[in-house]
Amino acid sequence: MERIITLTTDFGLKDHYSGAMKGVILSINPEVIITDITHEIVPQDVFQAAFILRNFYHYFPQGTIHIVIVDPGVGSRRKPIVVQADNYIFLGPDNGIFTFIYSEFKSVKAFKISNPKYILPKVGSTFDGRDVFAPAAAHLSLGVPADDLGGQVRKPVKLQIKEPVVRGSEIIGEVIYIDSFGNLITNIPAQLIKPKSRVYIGGEVIKGISQFYAEVPKGEFLAIIGSTGFLEISVSHGSALDMVETRLSSTKSKKIKKVKHIPCVIRI
């Protein structure tokens, strides 16, 4: 079976970075399948990369190798690692980018990528994507065991993930991700929500949970369980991000400067 390597980065598409990584991979294993997930992660937003990874990796066949790079600490003492989780393999910086992976698998091992046999001689210290992660992933795709790349990392870095708070009939969460459609994805999971729940966010009150986006008239807010499994705030044929930003600016709120992380309250 042909091996698959996916790429998720904050490199953008203007520069040569993702292309250089692909060249390194194909030079080592010309038969591998390379799939771009996205190169449009907000620069240096480690949580966004972690959340996106959480929502796509399991749709790939077991044995897939996922490279995830959002690496503001490149060149520092932070470790480049490979994570073995059942039959999935992940490569990236040890900066919390694999936080959701650590929590979703019972058997997870991380190894520092340090064996010079499987990395390139470094031209500088700022492009581990090309010099470390790409060649290591390519060698893994040829059957090299993860533990051949280096010693085990016993305590990999994990992000502090804020959980919703349940107080009686009230659930207090917040927006954790905004997609390209302007949908506001919260940290409130579907299992905490009832169909007739009321949702309060950015001065808006939404009555009930919709089943699809066009269930309400054009331009109106709705609450829905999105494809991530979390409560999502949307606007029918519009952008919840734009609508909430407009409302916040009109009230001249100084406390809430960004839509991301604004509170979302549910009463069930």
Give the whole-number percent of the chain exceeding pLDDT 90: 85
Neighbours of 192 (CB within 10 A): 15
Residue 255's pLDDT band (cuts 50, 70, 90): very low
The distance from CA 20 to its chain's CA centroid, rounded to whole angstroms, is: 23
**pLDDT mean over 243-268:** 72
Q: What is the DSSP letter of 103?
A: H
Rounded Cα gap, residues 244 and 259, in angstroms: 7
Spell out the domains of the chain, with CATH numbers in brackets: 4-153 (3.40.50.10790), 165-267 (2.40.30.90)
pLDDT for 191: 94
pLDDT over threshold 80, residue 258: no
**pLDDT mean over 232-252:** 85
Residue listed under structure tokens 């280096």:
150
pLDDT for 247: 73
What pLDDT digit, counting tens, does each position of 113-142 carry?
A: 999 999 999 778 899 999 999 999 999 999
pLDDT over threshold 90, residue 251: no
The rounded mean pLDDT for the chain is 93
State both tokens at 44.
């240096």
Which residues, listed in sequence order, are joined to residue 85 by a DSSP beta bridge? 88, 108
What pLDDT digit, counting tens, does each position of 178-189 carry?
A: 999 999 999 999
**pLDDT mean over 9-28:** 98
User: Which of 15-19, 65-69, 198-202 has the weakest average pLDDT?
Assistant: 198-202
Rounded Cα gap, residues 32 and 113, in angstroms: 20
* Continuous segment of H or E residues that includes residue 171: strand 170-178
State both tokens at 8.
């998720």
What pLDDT digit, counting tens, does each position of 179-220 carry?
A: 999 999 999 999 999 999 999 998 899 999 999 999 999 999
pLDDT for 250: 62
**pLDDT mean over 1-15:** 94
Q: What is the value of pTM for the model shown?
A: 0.91
Closest Cα to residue 241, out of 173, 157, 175, 158?
A: 175
The count of residues in the chain is 268
Q: Quick one: 165 exposed, middle or buried, by C-beta within 10 A (0-12, 13-18, 19+)? A: exposed
Sign of the Cα pseudo-torsion (200, 206, 211, 212, in order):
negative
